[in-house]
Chains A and B, each alone.
Chain A
Amino acid sequence: MNITHAVNGKFGQYGGQFVPETLMPALAELESAYAAAIADPEFTAEFDWLLKTYVGRESPLTFARRLTDHLGGAKIYLKREDLNHSGAHKINNALGQALLAKRMGKRRIVAETGAGQHGVGTATACALLGLDAIIYMGTVDIARQQPNVYRMKLLGAEVRPVESGSKTLKDAINEAIRDWVTNVDSTHYLLGSVLGPHPYPTIVRDFQSVIGREARRQILAAEGRLPDVLIACVGGGSNAIGLFQAFLDDESVAMVGVEAGGLGIESGKHAARFADPDRARVGVLHGTRSYVLQTADGQIMETHSVSAGLDYPSVGPQHALLRDVERAGYTIATDEEALEAFHLLSRLEGIIPALESAHAVAEVIKRAPKMSKNDIIIVNLSGRGDKDLDTVIKLTADSHQPSAKN
Chain B
Amino acid sequence: MTLKTIESTFTRRPAFMPYIPLGYPTPAASLDAVRAVVAAGADMVELGVPFSDPLADGQTIQAATQRALENGVTVETCLQMAAQLRAEGITVPFLLMGYLNPFLAFGLENLTAAAARAEIDGFIIPDLPPEEADEMDALCRTRNLALVYFLAPTSTPERIALVAQKARGFIYLVALTGVTGARNQLSDTLPQFVARVRAATNTPLAVGFGIGDGAQARQVAQFADGVIVGSALVKRMAKSTAAVRALAEEIAGAVHSL
Question: Is B106 within 8 A of A24, CB to CB?
Answer: no
Question: Is A283 within 8 A of B127, CB to CB?
Answer: no
Which chain B residues border A295 with CB–CB below 8 Å? 105
- Chain A residue at smallest Cβ distance from B179: A178
Interface string of B102-139 (1 = CB under 8 A from A): 11111000000000000000000011110110000000
B257 at the interface (CB under 8 A from A): no
Interface range on chain A (Cβ under 8 Å from partner): 35 or more
CA distance A282 to B100 in the complex (A): 12
Interface string of A163-196 (1 = CB under 8 A from B): 0110000110010011001111100000000000
Smallest CB separation, A176 vs chain B (Å): 9
* Interface secondary structure of A, over-half rule: mixed
- Chain A residue at smallest Cβ distance from B153: A22
Question: Is A182 within 8 A of B129, CB to CB?
Answer: no
- Chain A residue at smallest Cβ distance from B54: A174
Question: Is B52 within 8 A of A165, CB to CB?
Answer: yes
- Which chain A residues (291-316) contact chain B, with CB distance < 8 Å? 292, 294-300
- Which chain A residues (93-148) contact chain B, with CB distance < 8 Å? none
Smallest CB separation, B99 vs chain A (Å): 8
Smallest CB separation, A121 vs chain B (Å): 23
Which of B9-17, B144-152, B218-226 participates in binding chain A?
Answer: B144-152
A20 in contact with B51 given A284-B104, A294-B101, A298-B104 (CB within 8 Å): no
Question: Is A300 within 8 A of B55, CB to CB?
Answer: no
Interface range on chain B (Cβ under 8 Å from partner): 35 or more
A21 in contact with B101 given A170-B53, A300-B53 (CB within 8 Å): no
A298 in contact with B149 given A21-B155, A22-B174 (CB within 8 Å): no
CA distance A182 to B129 in the complex (A): 18
- Chain A residue at smallest Cβ distance from B50: A299
Contact of B53 (CB < 8 Å), options: A16, A183, A285: A285
CA distance A345 to B134 in the complex (A): 50
A287 in contact with B127 given A21-B174, A164-B62, A294-B101 (CB within 8 Å): yes
CA distance A177 to B55 in the complex (A): 7
Smallest CB separation, B56 vs chain A (Å): 5
Question: Is A25 within 8 A of B174, CB to CB?
Answer: no
Which chain A residues border B54 with CB–CB below 8 Å? 174
- Chain A residue at smallest Cβ distance from B172: A21
Question: Is B177 within 8 A of A22, CB to CB?
Answer: yes
Smallest CB separation, B231 vs chain A (Å): 14
CA distance A286 to B101 in the complex (A): 10
Smallest CB separation, B123 vs chain A (Å): 15
Question: Is A298 within 8 A of B174, CB to CB?
Answer: no
Contact of B149 (CB < 8 Å), options: A21, A26, A281: A21
Question: Is A298 within 8 A of B105, CB to CB?
Answer: yes
Contact of A18 (CB < 8 Å), options: B69, B129, B149: B129
Contact of B150 (CB < 8 Å), options: A20, A183, A285: A20
Most buried by A among B104, B106, B128: B104
A165 in contact with B132 given A22-B152, A22-B154, A184-B154 (CB within 8 Å): no
A50 at the interface (CB under 8 A from B): no
Contact of B102 (CB < 8 Å), options: A25, A26, A171, A299: A299
- Chain B residue at smallest Cβ distance from A164: B62
Smallest CB separation, B165 vs chain A (Å): 15
Question: Is B156 within 8 A of A181, CB to CB?
Answer: no
Most buried by A among B53, B54, B75: B53
- Chain B residue at smallest Cβ distance from A23: B154
A218 at the interface (CB under 8 A from B): no
CA distance A164 to B60 in the complex (A): 12
- Which chain B residues (49-77) contact chain A, with CB distance < 8 Å? 51-56, 58, 62, 66, 69, 74-76
Question: Is B101 within 8 A of A17, CB to CB?
Answer: no
Contact of B69 (CB < 8 Å), options: A25, A182, A287, A299: A299
Which chain A residues border B55 with CB–CB below 8 Å? 20, 174, 177-178, 181, 286
Question: Is B155 within 8 A of A281, CB to CB?
Answer: no
Interface residues of A (CB under 8 A from B): 16-26, 28, 164-165, 170-171, 174, 177-178, 181-185, 281-287, 292, 294-300
Q: Can you give 26 contacting A-B residue pairs, CB < 8 Å? A: A18-B129, A19-B129, A20-B56, A20-B126, A20-B129, A20-B150, A21-B149, A21-B151, A21-B155, A21-B159, A22-B177, A25-B156, A171-B53, A174-B53, A174-B55, A178-B56, A181-B179, A182-B179, A184-B177, A185-B177, A283-B104, A292-B101, A294-B105, A298-B104, A299-B52, A300-B101
Q: A181-B55, A181-B177, A297-B74 are in contact. List 4 more A-B contacts (CB 8 A).
A: A17-B132, A21-B155, A178-B179, A284-B104
